[in-house]
């Protein structure tokens, strides 16, 4: 009977994400001792991780925090806290990251890896997976993301989900932004992306030294403004470097005047 139970016991499908080959090998070596763990894939960066999590839907992810291009927190944001599997963060000493993990009671491993701590973190992950308490983890991860956003001064990259695909748009690439019902439309060169966010909340996330609200439903990348032409009652015709023409709102007159007076 015990033999039958051991045969039917589900394996923990595991993904290792780290930009350092040595770190990936170290995690894999420690997992080789665990009979119920199956390493299904390894990823060298955050973009590979997002694709692998979406396609392979692992039960557990060992996720490096410090990676170039797309870090561990950005992977978490791209997937969404409600769709993220159980996760054990891996990090070199990072005072800010460690404080965040401790505050939200999340498992993390410090490089170089310690075998005893590794075993404890893995056992907690097992308990979470077997107990189907991923919903509780989702709330914890969302709290972590909210905390990170409140600490981060301004956003440098936006995550766009469309048609089952995920895009990463650097805010420096954006020419202008317009409101579109419950979304905002980001215009970046010939491309336009819909982001589910209000204009007011997005404005708070963007650097006011980089983006200027010129209308209730429009924001402009200041670097893209080529010319301002006064119209009537304090309104302006705002011309961008790509030829786009936008009309400012009357209530935003002082913002534009301050812009060219500072220039």
User: What's the pLDDT tens digit per position in 55-76?
Assistant: 999 999 999 999 887 889 989 9
Number of compact structural domains in the chain: 2
Same domain, 111 and 240: no
Give residue 121's pLDDT band: very low, low, confident or very high (50, 70, 90).
very high
Distance in angstroms (rounded) separating the CA atoms of residues 155 and 135 = 27
Distance in angstroms (rounded) separating the CA atoms of residues 169 and 160 = 7
Give the mean pLDDT of 151-165.
Answer: 80
Quote the pLDDT of residue 150. 73
The percentage of residues in the chain with a pLDDT greater than 70, rounded to a whole number, is 94
Boundary residue ending a domain (151, 168, 194)? 151
Higher-confidence position of 238 and 234:
238
Same domain, 29 and 120: yes
Give residue 30's pLDDT band: very low, low, confident or very high (50, 70, 90).
very high
User: Which of 82, 140, 149 lies closest to 106 in space, CA to CA?
Assistant: 140
Same domain, 135 and 222: no
The percentage of residues in the chain with a pLDDT greater than 90, rounded to a whole number, is 52
Residue 263 has pLDDT above 80, yes or no: no
Quote the pLDDT of residue 189. 93
Q: Convert the pLDDT of each residue in 170-229 to its tens digit.
A: 999 999 999 998 899 999 999 999 998 889 889 988 988 899 999 999 999 999 999 988
Same domain, 161 and 136: no
Paired strand residues for 91: 110
Distance in angstroms (rounded) separating the CA atoms of residues 110 and 213 = 43
For residue 132, give the DSSP letter: T
Boundary residue ending a domain (128, 151, 174)? 151
Distance in angstroms (rounded) separating the CA atoms of residues 15 and 64 = 11
For residue 201, the SS3 value is helix
Higher-confidence position of 114 and 260:
114
165 CB neighbour count, 10 Å cutoff: 9
Residue 126 has pLDDT above 70, yes or no: yes
Sheet holding 225-230, edge to edge: 225-230, 236-240, 245-247
Same domain, 14 and 131: yes
For residue 48, the SS3 value is helix
**Tell me, what CATH number does 145's domain have?**
3.40.50.2300
Quote the pLDDT of residue 9. 57
Quote the pLDDT of residue 7. 44
Residue 89 has pLDDT above 60, yes or no: yes
Quote the pLDDT of residue 2. 39
Distance in angstroms (rounded) separating the CA atoms of residues 38 and 26 = 15
Higher-confidence position of 156 and 57:
57
- Tokens 């997992």 identify what position? 31
Same domain, 173 and 138: no
Q: What range does the domain containing 184 cover?
A: 157-262
Residue 3 has pLDDT above 70, yes or no: no
Euclidean distance between the first and the last CA atom of the chain, given in angstroms as a whole number: 80
Residue 1 has pLDDT above 50, yes or no: no
Quote the pLDDT of residue 136. 82
């Amino acid at each position: 009977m015990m033999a039958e139970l051991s045969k039917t016991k589900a394996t923990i499908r595991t993904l290792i994400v780290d930009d350092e080959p040595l770190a990936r090998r170290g995690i894999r070596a420690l997992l080789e001792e665990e009979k119920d763990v199956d390493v299904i894939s390894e990823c060298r960066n955050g973009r590979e991780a997002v694709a692998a999590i979406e396609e392979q839907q692992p039960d557990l992810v060992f996720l490096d925090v410090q990676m170039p291009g797309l870090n561990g927190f950005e992977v978490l944001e791209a997937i969404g806290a409600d769709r993220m599997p159980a996760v054990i963060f891996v990090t070199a000493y990072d005072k800010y990251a460690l404080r965040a993990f401790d505050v939200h009671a999340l498992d993390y491993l410090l490089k170089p890896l310690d075998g005893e701590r590794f075993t404890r973190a893995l056992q907690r992950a097992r308990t979470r997976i077997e107990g189907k308490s991923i919903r509780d983890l989702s709330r914890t991860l969302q709290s972590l993301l909210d905390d990170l956003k409140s600490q981060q001064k301004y956003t440098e990259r936006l995550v766009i989900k469309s048609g089952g695909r995920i895009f990463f748009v650097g805010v420096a690439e954006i020419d202008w932004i317009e409101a579109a019902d419950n979304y905002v439309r980001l215009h970046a060169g010939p491309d336009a992306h819909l982001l589910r966010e209000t204009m007011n909340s997005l404005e708070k996330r963007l650097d006011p030294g980089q983006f200027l609200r010129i209308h209730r439903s429009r924001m402009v990348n200041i670097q893209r403004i080529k010319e301002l032409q006064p119209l009537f009652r304090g309104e302006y015709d705002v011309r961008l470097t790509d030829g786009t023409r936008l009309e400012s709102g009357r209530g935003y007159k002082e913002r534009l005047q301050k812009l060219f007076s500072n220039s």
